[in-house]
A = this chain, B = another copy of it.
Amino acid sequence: MRKVSIIGAGMTKFGERWDKGIPELIAEAGVRALVDANLSGEEIQAVYGGTMAAGRLVGQEHIGALLADAMGLNPLPSVRVEAACASGGVALRQAYLSVASGMYDIVVVGGVEKMTDVSTGDATIALAGAGDIEWEFFSGATFPALYALIARRHMTEFGTTEEQLAAVAVKNHENGSHNEFAQFQNKITIDQVLNSKPIADPLKILDCSPITDGAAAVVLASSDIAKKYTDTPIEIIGSAQASDTLALHDRESLTSLKAARVAAENAYKQAKVTPKDINLAEVHDCFTIAEVLAIEDLGFFPKGKGGIATLEGETALNSKISINTSGGLKACGHPVGATGVKQAAEITWQLRGEAGKRQVDNATIGLTHNIGGSGATAVVHIMKRAD
C-alpha cells in the first residue's frame, strides 16, 4: 500500500443553486480543484464520484460517466459510488484505495447532489431511501423521526437537554458565518433554536441540516509525487469504513453508532494516533443529536457527555477540539453526495492554514466522519499535513 495525499480541493457555493444542473455544478467544483492542484487535467488517470439520489431527484443515473463527461475527462474510467449521505466519503475512500494500490498516481474525486429541483416532500421521500424502506419508511418514519428517536433515548439515558442540542446548531452557524461557501452564513442563538418550528419532537427546524444543491472535489496523488504539485500536500494517514443494520430497530443501541465506532477504531489504528491527537474534525451533523453522537463515538468525549461539552464550548473554534469549522451540515448545507468530499476539502484548507477567520491554530491532524442514513454506513478519514 502506497501513501496517498490530497493535492487540491474545490467546491461550489452550497445552497439553492437553481442556476446550475448536476453537470455544471460538478464542472465548477472539479475545475477549482484542478486549478488548486496546479493540474491541466492530462495527469489525471481516473475519476470517482459520490451521489445519493440523482435517479430519484432528477431522473439521471450513470453519474460516473456524467462526471467524466462534464469535466472533459473522457475516456478515463469514472466510478460513481452511493452510500446514502456517506456517498462522498465512500467515494473518497475508493479513490484513496485506487492510488494506494498502485493502479493510479493521480485521481480526482467529486461529490454532488441536486436536491432543490423537487419539493421538500419529494426530497424527504428520496432521502428515506437511506433507511430501511420496508420496515421504516412504509411505517411512516422519515429521517427527522429516526433521529428524534435517537435524541429522545440519549436524553433519557444521559440527561442530554434540548439546550445542549441547540448549542450544536449555534456553534455551527457561528463557524459557517466565516465560510463563503456555506448555505447559511447567519449567526443564531440558543433561544432561536429552542423556539423554532417543531419537526419531530424533540428536534426543531434549527436542529436539522437543510436541503441543498452543491458539489465538491479533491485531487489525490501518490505521496511520493505530491510535492511536484504543491508545497503542502495533506496526507491521508487513516481510512476506514464500516456497516451496520439499515433499520434502527435492529441495532444494539440507539445512543451510539456502532459502524462509526468500528470505522474510527480502524482509522486510528492505521494512522497510529489516538483521539487526543486530533486537532479538528468535520463530523456528520445532519441533526444536532448526530454531532453529539459523533464526538462521543469518535472518542473525543465520554459517552453521554457530548451535549454538555458542546454547551460548555469545548467543541468551538480553537477550544479543546474544533468541531465542524466549515459550519458542518447544519450551516454549510447538506447536498448529500457532496458532503463527505466537502469535509475533506475543509480539512485540507485548515491543515494548509488557508481557512481565514475560521482557521484552527497549529492544525496538524484532522479527521472527517461521514454517516450514511441513520448509521448503516460510516466512513472515517484522518489527514495530516506532511512535514
Contact, CB under 8 Å: B103 / A245: no
A206 interface residue per 8 A CB criterion: no
Contact, CB under 8 Å: B244 / A129: no
Contact, CB under 8 Å: A90 / B64: yes
Contacts of A241 in B (CB 8 A): 77, 79
Contact, CB under 8 Å: A245 / B74: yes
Q: A residues 51-96 with Cβ under 8 Å of B?
A: 52-56, 58-66, 68-69, 73-84, 90, 93-94
**Smallest beta-carbon distance A118→chain B, Å:** 13
Contacts of A130 in B (CB 8 A): 61-62
Contacts of A242 in B (CB 8 A): 74-77
Look across to chain B and name the residue whose beta carbon is closest to the beta carbon of A84: B62
Interface residue tally for chain A (C-beta within 8 Å): 64
Pick from B69, B84, B373: contact of A245, CB below 8 A: B69
Look across to chain B and name the residue whose beta carbon is closest to the beta carbon of A104: B97
Contact, CB under 8 Å: A64 / B103: no
Pick from B52, B65, B100, B263: contact of A246, CB below 8 A: B65
Pick from B66, B77, B90, B376: contact of A240, CB below 8 A: B77
Pick from B54, B55, B81, B259: contact of A80, CB below 8 A: B81
**Smallest beta-carbon distance A63→chain B, Å:** 7
Contacts of A66 in B (CB 8 A): 246, 376
A359 to B59, CA, bound (A): 41
Pick from B59, B98, B103: contact of A133, CB below 8 A: B59
Contact, CB under 8 Å: B103 / A258: no
Pick from B64, B129, B258: contact of A61, CB below 8 A: B129
Pick from B63, B78, B82: contact of A64, CB below 8 A: B82
Contacts of A103 in B (CB 8 A): 1, 97, 100-101
On whether A80 and B83 interact (CB within 8 A), knowing A61-B130, A246-B69, the answer reads yes
Contact, CB under 8 Å: B97 / A82: no
Contact, CB under 8 Å: A377 / B64: yes
Contacts of A56 in B (CB 8 A): 55-56, 59, 61
A335 interface residue per 8 A CB criterion: no
Contacts of A63 in B (CB 8 A): 82
A56 to B73, CA, bound (A): 28
A243 to B366, CA, bound (A): 34
A153 to B50, CA, bound (A): 35
**Smallest beta-carbon distance A134→chain B, Å:** 7
Contacts of A75 in B (CB 8 A): 242-244, 258-259, 262
**Smallest beta-carbon distance A76→chain B, Å:** 6
Contacts of A101 in B (CB 8 A): 1, 97-98, 100-103
Contacts of A245 in B (CB 8 A): 69, 74
A131 interface residue per 8 A CB criterion: yes
Given contacts A74-B242, A75-B243, 9 further A-B contacts (CB under 8 A): A1-B102, A21-B134, A60-B129, A62-B130, A65-B246, A77-B242, A77-B263, A81-B82, A82-B82
Enumerate the 3 nearest inter-chain pairs by beta-carbon distance, A residue then B residue, closest first: A101-B101, A65-B376, A77-B241
Can you list 25 A-B contacts with CB-CB less than 8 angstroms, sorted by A residue number? A21-B134, A53-B55, A56-B56, A56-B59, A56-B61, A61-B84, A61-B126, A62-B130, A63-B82, A64-B82, A64-B83, A64-B90, A65-B243, A65-B373, A65-B376, A66-B246, A66-B376, A74-B242, A74-B244, A75-B259, A77-B243, A78-B377, A97-B98, A97-B101, A100-B103
